[in-house]
Amino acid sequence: MENRSRVFYVILSVLASAMIWLYVDAKNATQVTVDVDNVPVVFLYEDSTLADRGLMLLQGKDTTISLRLRASRSVISNLDTSAITANVDMSSIMTSGFHSMNYTVAYPENIAPGDVTTDSASVYSILVRVGELFRREVEIRAEIDGEVADGYTAGTLSLYPSTLEVRGQQADVLKVAYAKVILPLDKPSDSVREMLSYELYDKNGNVVEGVNLRADRTQVEAHLPVLLTKRVPLSVTFIESDGAHLDNVDYTILPQSISVTGEAAAVRAIDSIDLGTISLEDVVTSGTYTYDIKTPAGVSNISSSAQAKVTVVFKDMVSRSVVVSDFVCENVPEGCAAAVRNGSVVVTLRGTSEDLALLQSDEVSIVLDLSDIPAARGTYTVDAAVRIESAEDIDLGVVGTYPVIVQIEETPAAADENAA
């Protein structure tokens, strides 16, 4: 029994020692090495500071190096070696010629530089050759590969920018006659906007190859409008009023429709073109209105007509004058009395002949709203409202406005209170 206990404690001790060893190893006690080949050299400030000085990198651009790195086992296990670069600061170069440049090893963001040591490297400096920078602007041309959808038309292809600045040694730059992009189309029914890469060509239409050239951008924005043409009707908006309703109107619009063209999405969104508004209250019996035909932004009117005429005719519209002597004063100032100076007002009404025939003269009254009149003696002119209260179901409108003179006086009780 005692021997079994001793064996148990020996096994337990071994396991504890192993766990402690693993813990210490995990805490960076053990250093390991890793070999990293083909580490790319990145030249910082080449296209900014160096180019601003009229210089460019001629040799050393595709340099790679090999490194032997040492770090803890946990750091090495988390190190993405494909993300390691050797960075060369070019901002210190002031002249052309050969320069031996030091580099700094850059690690992924999850690795602290102090946790990794460079045991050895294939080279400890980078030899570069710098030359004079020559600049030249060349035209960017475009080629379309494909076609738009049936029923649509391709507009004018535009590029931004339309020129490209090519930089390099003078002899190399002068070989370039133009740059070209190719826009692929697979029968689109909407306008196309894409970022495209380009190639450089010589004057004979051959791709310029085997030279060290740079440009001020790597891609060009291409915009191809895809156009749609269709016929759309013209319309007008009517504002109805008492006695003047659309169901009692005949109207014509000439021309009835126009042809428009523009970017497909904009044209598809147009169901009709509204010319404007006509208040039927302002139409006596008939009227003709002329409108400029205005299309939405990006859409063009390709018809011969730039204007449209709208003719409105009431099918049954007559007027009748009524003498009104029934005045109703509302919202009279407190402590005051109102007296209308007009004996009567001649009011012109309009509507269908049937409705006007049913109207009785005593069914029309003049209403004066005095809520804006101050509580003070005086004579005021008030625009009157015409009220029609008929036993019949009629629909009549009032033509014109009717100013009425009103005399405001204090009531005797109010005058006594003010005197007291």
Dump pLDDT digits (tens) for 24-38. Answer: 555 445 899 999 999
- Is residue 22 predicted with pLDDT exceeding 60? no
pLDDT digits (tens, 9 = 90+) for 189-238: 999 999 999 999 999 999 998 888 888 899 999 999 999 999 999 999 99
State the pLDDT confidence band at 416, using cuts at 50, 70 and 90: low
C-alpha to C-alpha distance for 62 and 243, rounded to whole angstroms: 87
CATH annotation of 2-132: 2.170.120.30
pLDDT tens, position by position, 265-315: 999 999 999 999 999 988 888 899 999 999 999 899 999 999 999 999 998
Does residue 15 have a pLDDT over 70? no
Question: What is the per-residue pLDDT across 316-338, written as a single tens digit (0 to 9) for each?
Answer: 888 889 999 899 999 988 888 88
177 neighbors 137 (Cβ within 8 angstroms): no
**CATH class given for the domain over 318-419:** mainly beta
Instruction: Report the CATH fold assignment for 228-314.
Output: RNA Polymerase Alpha Subunit; Chain A, domain 2 (2.170.120)
Domains 134-224 and 228-314 share a fold: yes
Q: What is the Cα–Cα distance from 44 to 177, expressed in whole angstroms?
A: 30
| Single pTM value for the model | 0.58
Could you check whether the bond before residue 225 is cis, i.e. omega within 30 degrees of 0?
A: no
Residue 75 has pLDDT above 70, yes or no: yes
Peptide bond into 108 cis (omega under 30): no
| Domain 134-224, CATH among 2.170.120.40, 2.30.110.10, 2.70.98.50, 3.60.20.10 | 2.170.120.40
| Sequence spans of domains, the chain | 2-132, 134-224, 228-314, 318-419
Rounded to 10 degrees, the C-alpha dihedral 371/375/381/384 comes to 30
Half-sphere exposure of 166 (CA within 13 A, CB side): 26
